[in-house]
Amino acid sequence: MNPANLRKSTQFFAIAFCLMAMASLATLMGFGQMRSDRYLDIHMSAINEIQGLRESLKDAILASQRYIVTGEKLELSSFTESVDATKQHLFILKGIDGGQYANNERFRMMANQVGLLLDQLVTDARLYQDKGPEASKDLLLTTRELRDASVLSTDLLSLEREESATVRAYISGDSKARGNALPMIILLLSACSGIYALYLFTGDGVTDDTQPVNATQAGLTSEGDELRRELELAKEQLERLANVDYLTEVLNLRGLEQVLKAEDNRAHRSGGHLIAMIINCDNFNKVNESVGHVTGDIILKEVARRIKGTLRPSDHVARVGADEFLVLLPETQLAYGMRVAERIRVAIADNPMRGPQDPLTITVSIGLSNLPAKISSVSEVVTLTRTALKKSKATGKNKVTLSREIATESGEYPVIVPRSPVEQLTDIASFRTVYQPIIDLDTEDIAGYEVLTRGPDGAYESPGDFFRICIENDILTKVDLQCLKLCLAEIPKSKQTMRFHVNLFPSTLLETPIANLIKIFPEDRAGTIFCIEISEQQFITEPAYLRDQVNALRQAGILVAIDDVGFGRSSLETLILLEPDLVKVDRKYVSGLSNEPAKARLLRRLTNVAKSLGAEIIAEGIEDRRDLPLLKDMGVNYGQGFLWGELLQILPTNEEVHQNEGAV
């Protein structure tokens, strides 16, 4: 044993012993409490707020029932104060410990039940104000509802008792409640010190025979260098696999993202041009069907090889789809980019590929674009070039097309000007429509369709996305009217009675002269019934401002529906003020109805309000057949949802409609 190692070993044994003694002393004295006073404050606050929540909820229920029986304003005032107090306690509970307390699954369920019960009580009080004492009998809580409220109160009391038990355990010094993290840390350090001391004590240390040690070290160094080289090779191979397409051995999307970032930065510094082209194999699905997918993969590899054979070493090619490639040409003028694209097209189309039996002629359509500065993602590049690709496809395929051409003053080269989001969204030619059936719940026949708009392919396809851009750029009314015209143009004339629903923003109703809006609808409607859906969630003013427009539409024979209706105060005001022909209940109040009795009770009250106003009811978001009996029992007339299939890309013919009705 080397004396130096023996000395170090003794020192570390002594350190380990001292640390173990400190850990034992800390444990005995109760140090190391990670939960300390803050832990106690959190649970004490929770106890106080749960007590207050339970009491204020009980007061709200009693005051509500007394008000419905007596109609006294004092009881209404007491009810309002109790509701506000209950909401205040809920708010404080959700904010305890920075919102962490509200993450408890049990508390979330109770908070949701309390919120639903409060909504029910508030709705009953407002209905009593509107209908008067004759409605009191129907508005009083049933025995079952009172029993549910009692169970909720019992659950709150149980939660309060659990919190109290936790506090008592903490105060009494229960180790699980108080925690002993600091002694455990000290004990861990002592264990490490002891292990290291044992290693030094039993190890050989530095021997007197230095020559064998040096030889051993030399061998270890050589072995370590070899291992490092193998690791470097493995790292390079993994990096290559992560950035290269396994089939065609060109870049994949991840590799293209990295290349695009580097080339965009270089173009920004040098002021040069960055040209992109998207290459799509024409009718490649038919090729796969005729020769098989294995041969199809070989053809894709050959297409990639011919593309790479046409490019410079500084150019980049990536596979971005099943039969689609994207090429980047850095530091390239547009005229040269057009020549490269044409060479690629000729290299693929003019040289048939060898097939299993006969030679195969493969052609490609190419879209070309001059990328703007600071392009941020591959998806933007694909969006900019795909417009030109669609033109190539639409004009006969096997062509090269620019995304947009504008002649320069000299007339020497065309310049591509990328379309801005506003230009894309105001071009209605790039929009399309889809259809969702409206089902008569009594027969489950198709009663009509809701016509929905989808934006340009890519980043603006989702309605939520392109309408958000429209609002930001103050073009919402223009685009909304264009979408309305597109939807109406796609609706065929039908001899049988069929209902078609279209959507419109409330702001569009206010900003468009109602006579001009009515003129957009066809005069000869035959058996077609039109309905305009106005989303309640998009109301930014008082609903009363829309009353004249709604009445004018109704006089013109156009139905009006209020969409996305919930259970709050604004919903009741909207229904009472506008008196719509139809009420569409938001999907979050319909989905899972059969498993949530509280939701069912609220929906029943909402349907009673709608029926009292003479409105028909449509339930959105139906996905479970078990919800249908409840909806029918409540008097819901129509339904929409994925229970009856996905959105339709085209409208079926009359014969297909009858077949679908029979299948349902």
Cβ 1 vs Cβ 205: under 8 Å: yes
Q: How far is CA 92 from CA 40, 99, 167, 190, 563, in A?
A: 17, 9, 19, 44, 33
Of the candidates 491, 550, 476, 481, which has an alpha carbon nearest to the alpha carbon of residue 519? 481
pLDDT of residue 412: 41
Contacts of residue 353, defined as CB under 8 A and 6 or more positions apart, other chains included, come to 299, 302, 359, 360, 361, 362
Amino acid 148 reads: D
Residue 439 has pLDDT above 90, yes or no: yes
Matching residue, tokens 């939807």: 487
pLDDT of residue 290: 83
Q: pLDDT higher for 518 or 407? A: 518
How many residues appear in the chain?
Answer: 664
Q: How far is CA 606 from CA 45, 131, 600, 621, in A?
A: 37, 14, 10, 17
Contacts of residue 367, defined as CB under 8 A and 6 or more positions apart, other chains included, come to 277, 278, 385, 386, 387, 388, 389, 390, 391, 392, 401, 402, 403
Output DSSP code: residue 540: -
- Distance (Å, rounded) from C-alpha 225 to C-alpha 222? 5
Mean confidence (pLDDT) of the chain: 79
Amino acid 644 reads: W
- Residue 317's DSSP bridge partners are 327
* Cβ neighbour number for residue 508 with a 10 Å cutoff: 22
Confidence of residue 214 (pLDDT cuts 50, 70, 90): low
pLDDT of residue 495: 61
CA pseudo-torsion sign 71, 75, 81, 84:
negative
Cα angle at 465 between 462 and 469, to 5 degrees?
140
CATH number of the domain located at residue range(s) 253-419 in this protein = 3.30.70.270
Give per-residue pLDDT as tens, 46-76. Answer: 888 888 888 888 888 888 888 888 888 888 8
- Distance (Å, rounded) from C-alpha 37 to C-alpha 180? 15
Q: pLDDT higher for 27 or 586? A: 586
Confidence of residue 416 (pLDDT cuts 50, 70, 90): very low
- Residue 565's DSSP bridge partners are 585
Residue 149 has pLDDT above 60, yes or no: yes
Confidence of residue 116 (pLDDT cuts 50, 70, 90): confident
CA 494 to chain centre: 37
Rg of the chain over Cα atoms, rounded to whole angstroms, equals: 36
**Per-residue tokens: 623:** 């996905």
Confidence of residue 12 (pLDDT cuts 50, 70, 90): low
Question: Whole-prediction pTM value?
Answer: 0.43
Cα angle at 148 between 142 and 154, to 5 degrees?
140
Residue 204 has pLDDT above 50, yes or no: no
Of the candidates 480, 519, 548, 576, which has an alpha carbon nearest to the alpha carbon of residue 562? 576
CA pseudo-torsion sign 570, 575, 580, 581:
positive
**Averaged pLDDT for residues 570-580:** 76
Residue 632: half-sphere exposure toward Cβ, Cα within 13 Å: 11
Burial of 68: CB neighbours in 10 Å, binned 0-12, 13-18, 19+: buried
Task: Look at the domain 36-179 and name its fold.
Answer: Four Helix Bundle (Hemerythrin (Met), subunit A) (1.20.120)
Out of 56-65, 90-99, 235-244, the most confident range is 56-65
Report phi then psi at 564, rounded to 5.
60, 40
**Averaged pLDDT for residues 120-147:** 79
**Per-residue tokens: 648:** 């339709």
Task: Look at the domain 428-663 and name its fold.
Answer: TIM Barrel (3.20.20)
Give per-residue pLDDT as tens, 645-657. Answer: 888 888 876 555 4
Of the candidates 68, 86, 84, 123, which has an alpha carbon nearest to the alpha carbon of residue 567? 123
Matching residue, tokens 């030094």: 200
Matching residue, tokens 């044993």: 1
- Distance (Å, rounded) from C-alpha 163 to C-alpha 106? 13
- Provide the 3-class DSSP secondary structure of residue 437: strand
Span between the terminal Cα atoms of the chain, in Å: 88
Cβ 377 vs Cβ 385: under 8 Å: no
* Most distant CA atoms of the chain, gap in Å: 109
**Averaged pLDDT for residues 360-389:** 83
- Distance (Å, rounded) from C-alpha 567 to C-alpha 557? 29
pLDDT of residue 356: 61
Residue 304 has pLDDT above 90, yes or no: yes
The crossing angle, in degrees rounded to 10, of helices 36-70 and 73-95 is: 160
Give per-residue pLDDT as tens, 445-484. Answer: 999 999 999 888 766 777 877 887 888 777 888 888 989 9
Of the candidates 256, 643, 595, which has an alpha carbon nearest to the alpha carbon of residue 438? 643
Residue 187 has pLDDT above 70, yes or no: no
- Residue 353's DSSP bridge partners are 360
Region for residue 319 given its phi and psi (left: phi exceeds 0; alpha: psi -120 to 50; beta: otherwise)? beta
pLDDT of residue 172: 64
